[in-house]
Chains A and B, each alone.
Chain A
Amino acid sequence: MKILRGTPAAPGLAIGSAHTIRPFPPVDITAKRTTEASVETERLEQAIGQAITRLDTLRVAAKGPTANILEAQREMLDDPELKQGADDLVTSGFTAEAAVTLVAADYAAQLASLPDPYLAARAEDVREAGRRIVAELRGTSLEVHLDYAGILVAQDLAPAETVGLDPAYLQAIVTETGSATGHLAIVAQGLGIPAVVGVAGVLTQLDEGTTLIVDGDRGTVTLAPDEVSRAEANTRIVSAQQERQDLQIFRDLPGTTADGVRVEVFANIGSLAEARKAVEMGAEGVGLFRTELIAAGGIPSEEEQRVIYEEVAAALQRPLIVRTFDIGGDKPVPGLDIPAEANPFLGWRGIRMALDRPEAVFLPQVRALLRVAASYDVRIMLPMITVPQEVEEARALIDKAMQDLQRSGQHARRVPLGIMVETPAAALTLDQFRGLVDFASIGTNDLVQYTYAVDRTNAQVRERAKPLGTATLRLVEQICQAGIPVAVCGQLAGDANAVPLLVGLGVRELSVAPARVPAVKRMLSTMTLAEMQAQAQQALNKP
């Protein structure tokens, strides 16, 4: 038994036998033809035609990014300059195989030297197009066939090579090169197949049929595992399958307690990819779209933001609560002159910055959101609120943005307005926000930090904060009595110990990481509201 380490690229565990794919036999690029040039160019033309036909068959099955790359690759095969360049080399004496390889390598080198990393990465697609033609010239094809269950082990797998694979037979993927964010990782995650990449030298250490355990969570590959390791892997595989099956039914069910009280289970997201994941996991909406990621390179224009929010809203097709930029001294933003502060968590951040710099920070975002709201269910949530006056000022700015949009003839719609409750000030006086806000969402991470006076980034004191302590729970109780619909979007919302307490205190929306959605729905379904209320009452008075 031997354990090799690589980079985890797609989660999951598999045990099976290795199906190895040895590298493409190299082309002798100095080879001179022994036939007439016209015979060789004719061979080349036929090979290109066959490669195109084969690729067209593959493209039928391909979707998304893979389909885009195959479409571009088809154009590469059919490229008049590629054919002309290869024909010229054939005329000067090279074989068709050498000629097409040399021309493809030349274009690949030109692309690899471009500053745009995406275009530079297309160099591999060009080389692959060249290999496709060479494979046809040799009377083979580039595609990998797997007609029995196995774990694919290869130096690298190009996207096109994975398209022809039947997921029913593919147990896992192991490659010698590649990164956690490469094509292969995306394809494997999409198929739900465990993958470990960057396992240097793996091909030289195993044979066709060697038994392997592939752990896509830890990034390990176990060669010829002993009895104990096999048994352990099998146990984990069975329990993971059971867990997935158990949770499956919750994806499409609404969140309810055992006695049928509705508690909506939403997702927290920060990107389009996470929005898609939220839909896949059965989230009933997005309770927190953190927009800070969008601003990481400087605040984008209104139009740029509109495109981003529209993509996310279109992917969701369900309620989308967007938190306006929660920027502060601890996360510098290019183009915004934020002075260094001794206490950034108590400083110029969130709504404070938005109100002080409406044109630079707040209004472009609000206008973009109001425009997207014309077509989708979008709601706005304000961060770091302490007193009602801040909401009044923000509302005035939002109303002004609405008027400006209407005057200029843009489609826009008024949206529900909510606040994050993350300061004790807002928690203790939430009843005074009635009439001003349509909903409130508790940001537990900050609320706990401000309540217990514990900087959550300071490892020395971090453990002293009590997310489920009496002080936190009493604040949640008070928040829920304010007469405003209350959600929780902090980490607590996905915590098995916290869910009954929060719901028992009156929370009716939990917003959690997309992958947690089915598990939270299941937690809700195991207890009645009365049981949760009893548990909460007990916890409120625990010293």
Chain B
Amino acid sequence: MMERTVMLGSKSGLHARPAAIFVQHAKEFKSQITLSKNDKTVNGKSILSVLTLGAEQGDQVVLKVNGDDAEAAIDKLTPLLEGDLG
């Protein structure tokens, strides 16, 4: 399992569109993907769950990936979270 702590870069936090973009990319991978903020951990392929994190710009979120393509997933998703996410 791979894990990264990321500071959220999106200006509007994980609002609807940034969350949709993240989830679309997460779904490209077979690995199990979770996002955590504080004590709450959710399925990174579920937009509804990701939205309930209420994550804002500058928040620390933990990205965990478990599976065969974990490395590729981490490489793809980490910069997405750090960047603007459209």
**Chain A residues proximal to chain B, CB less than 8 Å:** 68-69, 71-72, 74-76, 79-82, 107, 110-111, 114-116, 118-119, 122, 125-126
B23 touches A (CB below 8 Å)? yes
B43 touches A (CB below 8 Å)? yes
Asked whether, in the complex, the Cβ of A119 is within 8 Å of the Cβ of B51, the reply is yes
B58-81 vs A, Cβ < 8 Å mask (1 yes, 0 no): 000000000000000000000000
Cα–Cα, bound, A535→B75 (Å): 71
B13 touches A (CB below 8 Å)? yes
Taking the nearest CB of chain B, how far is it from the CB of A101, in angstroms?
A: 14
B41 touches A (CB below 8 Å)? no
Q: Known: A68-B16, A68-B17, A118-B12. Contact between A75 and B47, CB under 8 A?
A: yes
Cα–Cα, bound, A75→B15 (Å): 13
Asked whether, in the complex, the Cβ of A71 is within 8 Å of the Cβ of B20, the reply is yes
Cα–Cα, bound, A34→B43 (Å): 32
Interface pairs A-B: 9 shortest CB-CB: A72-B16, A81-B46, A75-B47, A114-B54, A68-B17, A107-B48, A72-B20, A75-B20, A110-B52
Q: Which chain B residues numbered 6 to 63 have a C-beta less than 8 Å away from chain A?
A: 12-13, 15-17, 19-20, 23-24, 43, 45-49, 51-52, 54, 56
| Apart from A110-B52, A118-B12, A118-B15: 17 A-B pairs, beta carbons within 8 A | A68-B17, A71-B17, A72-B16, A72-B17, A72-B19, A72-B20, A76-B48, A79-B46, A79-B48, A79-B49, A80-B45, A81-B46, A81-B48, A82-B48, A119-B13, A122-B51, A126-B48
Asked whether, in the complex, the Cβ of A76 is within 8 Å of the Cβ of B47, the reply is yes
Chain A's closest residue to B14 (CB) is A119
State how many residues of chain B have any CB contact under 8 Å with chain A.
Answer: 19
Which residues on B sit within 8 Å (CB–CB) of A79? 46-49
Taking the nearest CB of chain A, how far is it from the CB of B50, in angstroms?
A: 9
Which residues on A sit within 8 Å (CB–CB) of B15? 118-119, 122
Asked whether, in the complex, the Cβ of A82 is within 8 Å of the Cβ of B51, the reply is no
Chain B's closest residue to A77 (CB) is B47
Chain A's closest residue to B21 (CB) is A71
A-B contacts, CB under 8 A, total: 55
- Can you sample 26 A-B contacts with CB below 8 Å? A68-B17, A69-B16, A71-B20, A72-B47, A75-B23, A79-B48, A79-B49, A80-B43, A80-B45, A81-B43, A81-B46, A81-B49, A82-B48, A107-B51, A107-B52, A110-B52, A114-B52, A114-B54, A115-B54, A116-B56, A119-B13, A119-B54, A122-B15, A122-B51, A125-B16, A126-B48
Cα–Cα, bound, A110→B47 (Å): 13
Asked whether, in the complex, the Cβ of A75 is within 8 Å of the Cβ of B43, the reply is no
**Chain B residues proximal to chain A, CB less than 8 Å:** 12-13, 15-17, 19-20, 23-24, 43, 45-49, 51-52, 54, 56
Q: Known: A68-B16, A72-B16, A72-B19. Contact between A80 and B46, CB under 8 A?
A: yes
Cα–Cα, bound, A75→B23 (Å): 8
Which residues on B sit within 8 Å (CB–CB) of A111? 51-52
Which residues on A sit within 8 Å (CB–CB) of B24? 75
Taking the nearest CB of chain A, how far is it from the CB of B31, in angstroms?
A: 14
Which residues on A sit within 8 Å (CB–CB) of B47? 72, 75-76, 79
Cα–Cα, bound, A81→B27 (Å): 13
Cα–Cα, bound, A81→B16 (Å): 17
Chain B's closest residue to A120 (CB) is B54
Cα–Cα, bound, A167→B49 (Å): 36
Chain A's closest residue to B16 (CB) is A72
Cα–Cα, bound, A71→B23 (Å): 11
Cα–Cα, bound, A75→B46 (Å): 8
Which residues on B sit within 8 Å (CB–CB) of A122? 15-16, 51
Taking the nearest CB of chain A, how far is it from the CB of B6, in angstroms?
A: 19
Cα–Cα, bound, A485→B13 (Å): 45
Chain B's closest residue to A65 (CB) is B17
Cα–Cα, bound, A435→B49 (Å): 62
Which residues on B sit within 8 Å (CB–CB) of A80? 43, 45-46
Taking the nearest CB of chain A, how far is it from the CB of B75, in angstroms?
A: 22
Which residues on A sit within 8 Å (CB–CB) of B13? 116, 119
Cα–Cα, bound, A82→B52 (Å): 13
Cα–Cα, bound, A125→B12 (Å): 18
Cα–Cα, bound, A81→B56 (Å): 22
Chain B's closest residue to A68 (CB) is B17
Cα–Cα, bound, A408→B18 (Å): 32
Which residues on B sit within 8 Å (CB–CB) of A119? 13, 15, 51, 54
Cα–Cα, bound, A74→B16 (Å): 11
Which residues on B sit within 8 Å (CB–CB) of A69? 16
Which residues on B sit within 8 Å (CB–CB) of A114? 52, 54
Taking the nearest CB of chain B, how far is it from the CB of A110, in angstroms?
A: 5
Chain B's closest residue to A104 (CB) is B48
Which residues on B sit within 8 Å (CB–CB) of A76? 47-48
Cα–Cα, bound, A79→B50 (Å): 11
Cα–Cα, bound, A28→B49 (Å): 25
Which residues on B sit within 8 Å (CB–CB) of A68? 16-17
Which residues on A sit within 8 Å (CB–CB) of B20? 71-72, 74-75
- Pick from B17, B19, B54: contact of A116, CB below 8 A: B54
Cα–Cα, bound, A177→B30 (Å): 44
Taking the nearest CB of chain B, how far is it from the CB of A283, in angstroms?
A: 27
Cα–Cα, bound, A118→B13 (Å): 10
Taking the nearest CB of chain A, how far is it from the CB of B35, in angstroms?
A: 13
Which residues on B sit within 8 Å (CB–CB) of A115? 54
Which residues on A sit within 8 Å (CB–CB) of B48? 76, 79, 81-82, 107, 126
Taking the nearest CB of chain B, how far is it from the CB of A246, in angstroms?
A: 40
Chain A's closest residue to B13 (CB) is A116
Which residues on B sit within 8 Å (CB–CB) of A74? 20
Cα–Cα, bound, A157→B48 (Å): 22
Cα–Cα, bound, A115→B24 (Å): 25
Q: Which of B24, B45, B47, B54 has the most CB of A within 10 A?
A: B47
Taking the nearest CB of chain A, how far is it from the CB of B11, in angstroms?
A: 8
